[in-house]
Amino acid sequence: QQQVKQSPQSLIVQKGGISIINCAYENTAFDYFPWYQQFPGKGPALLIAIRPDVSEKKEGRFTISFNKSAKQFSLHIMDSQPGDSATYFCAARGSGNTGKLIFGQGTTLQVKP
Amino acid sequence: GAVVSQHPSRVICKSGTSVKIECRSLDFQATTMFWYRQFPKKSLMLMATSNEGSKATYEQGVEKDKFLINHASLTLSTLTVTSAHPEDSSFYICSARQGTMNTEAFFGQGTRLTVV
């Protein structure tokens, strides 16, 4: 119940295209869903996050879509750029577990010029 | 924005020795710090959660005598890998949070440990 399942494992997109990464969870106690971007040899950086009381959040080219009934959420990267090439992790956090994050398996995105 | 700094960024040590990794919150007081381990092309695995002035809470399967965590101040937590062996080679990442469990945690840049 503590798992967050992320797909796909890897993704190749042409420059200007839309990158879509999906995550699913089971624990309904999760109440915060962030996405992190990680470049090789670096720590993850918060990209965008959403709470389950909204269905969508947009920040620049990055959008989170959230489907509470399906217990799924996804990251959309519009107008993908080569600089977006990185590993992306979804995560979930529940108020009842000291606020620790449960991470998805990660998606390696390659944006071809 | 909040900055979390890890030191060193890379370290090579001999098998059997101990190595200490520092995690500092530079512009905020971190009441809670988290330590993660990440294998190549894998996700982050939480090792332990530490609250300032308290003993760390280790995740199941993590040897607390092997990975010593100290959170003696509101801006510094340390992870000491004792009697390191090649299988301890990994990327170690800390994150720090100010305030309650609902506030955002910020990540350090990670430490690449290689045990030879």
Q: Report pLDDT digits (tens) over B13-54.
A: 999 999 999 999 999 998 899 999 999 989 999 999 998 888
pLDDT at A75: 98
Mutate to test the interface with A, among B34, B41, B44, B49 (most CBs of A within 10 A): B44
Instruction: Measure CB to CB from residue A99 to each of B4, B93, B102 and give the nearest one.
Output: B102
Kindly state the DSSP code that residue A83 receives in the 8-state scheme.
G
Cα–Cα distance, B67 to A34 (Å, whole number)? 28
Structure confidence by residue, pLDDT tens digits, B54-101 = 889 999 999 999 999 999 899 999 999 999 999 999 999 999 988 766
Is A100 in contact with B43 (Cβ distance < 8 A)? no
The answer to whether the peptide bond before residue A113 is cis (omega within 30 degrees of 0) is no
Scan for tokens 């809470």, then name that residue: B57
Determine the average pLDDT of the residues in B107-112. 96
Determine the average pLDDT of the residues in A73-97. 92
**pLDDT level of residue A39 (50, 70, 90 thresholds):** very high
Classify burial at A11, counting beta carbons within 10 Å of its beta carbon; exposed 0-12, middle 13-18, buried 19 or more. Answer: middle
B60 touches chain A (CB under 8 A): no
